[in-house]
């Protein structure tokens, strides 16, 4: 005869010391709180998951190892850079820019330029003039990062939007957004002039801005011809 146990907690049923009784104890509303039930169920499911793993993780382990060690097979999972990114890397390499992070910088420039509909070569030229791709550059005017975001002007907006101005992707994208607005309002080179921070009330500000534009143009227009690989940047 099977022993009978009565649930003194909820007095809801008489069950034997078997699977039904264990399940009842787990679900008894008077025994444990909902959070405790979830914890217990999570532990049980975890035990089941680790106990009954998929055969592929063990049966085919040797095959997967051989595949990873095979350079031909491994090459199949390596992402192939787009022609635009490759061309941008070549453009940056020409000026000895960001050797360690060149690929990352190139991808960030191409991505943000396409997203905001700007010429990526223009963005790269400004970045070269501003910081030579130094993500931790800080100027005397309190401008930071690759695109030299002016903190007094844009710092609060960056904080509100959660932008990390020392992160390569964030800084480039934020700078491209600023540049896009100026170019849209004033045209390409006048927009670049505003990006510099031209102020007619400050002595020599206009001349400094004009010199800045010429420096940017020197990178942007250098060797720019139909045969140049940078023509595929768009």
- Structural contact between residues 28 and 10, judged by C-beta atoms closer than 8 angstroms: yes
Q: How does pLDDT run across 77-117, given as a tens digit for each residue?
A: 445 668 999 999 999 999 888 678 899 999 999 999 999 99
**Element housing 72 (H / E):** helix 71-74
Looking at the chain, the whole-number percentage of residues with pLDDT higher than 90 is 50
Q: Is the pLDDT of residue 63 over 50?
A: no
- Per the CB < 8 A criterion, the answer to whether 135 and 166 are in contact is yes
The total number of residues written for the chain in this structure? 234
**CATH numbers and ranges of domains, the chain:** 4-56 (no CATH), 83-233 (1.10.530.10)
Q: What is the pTM of this model?
A: 0.62
How far apart are the C-alpha atoms of 163 and 149, rounded to whole Å? Answer: 11
Compute the average pLDDT of residues 191-212. Answer: 85
Give the pLDDT band (50/70/90) at residue 131. very high
Q: In the predicted model, what is the mean pLDDT of residues 197-221?
A: 86
Q: Which residue has the tokens 């907690």?
A: 9
Q: Check pLDDT > 50 for residue 58.
A: no
Q: What is the largest CA-CA distance in the chain?
A: 103
* Distance (Å, whole) CA 224 – CA 37: 68
């Amino acid at each position: 005869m099977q022993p009978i146990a009565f649930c003194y907690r909820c007095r809801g049923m008489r069950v034997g010391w078997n699977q039904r009784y264990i399940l009842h104890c787990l679900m008894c509303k008077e025994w444990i709180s909902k959070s405790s039930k979830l914890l217990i169920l999570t532990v049980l499911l975890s035990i089941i998951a680790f106990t009954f793993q998929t055969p592929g993780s063990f049966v085919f382990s040797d095959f997967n190892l051989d595949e990873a060690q095979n350079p031909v097979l491994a090459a199949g999972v390596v992402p192939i850079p787009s022609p635009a990114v490759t061309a941008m890397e070549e453009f940056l390499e020409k000026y000895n820019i960001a050797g360690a992070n060149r690929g990352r910088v190139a991808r960030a420039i191409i991505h943000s330029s396409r997203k905001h509909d700007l010429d990526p070569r223009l963005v790269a030229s400004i970045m070269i003039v501003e910081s030579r791709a130094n993500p931790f550059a800080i100027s005397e005017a309190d401008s930071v990062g690759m695109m030299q975001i002016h903190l007094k002007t844009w710092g609060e907006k960056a904080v509100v939007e959660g932008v990390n101005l020392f992160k390569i992707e964030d800084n480039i994208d934020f700078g491209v957004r600023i540049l896009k607005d100026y170019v849209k309002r004033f045209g390409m080179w006048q927009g670049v002039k505003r990006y510099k921070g031209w102020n007619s009330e400050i002595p020599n500000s206009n001349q400094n801005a004009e010199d800045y534009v010429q420096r940017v143009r020197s990178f942007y227009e250098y060797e720019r011809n139909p045969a140049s690989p940078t023509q595929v940047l768009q």
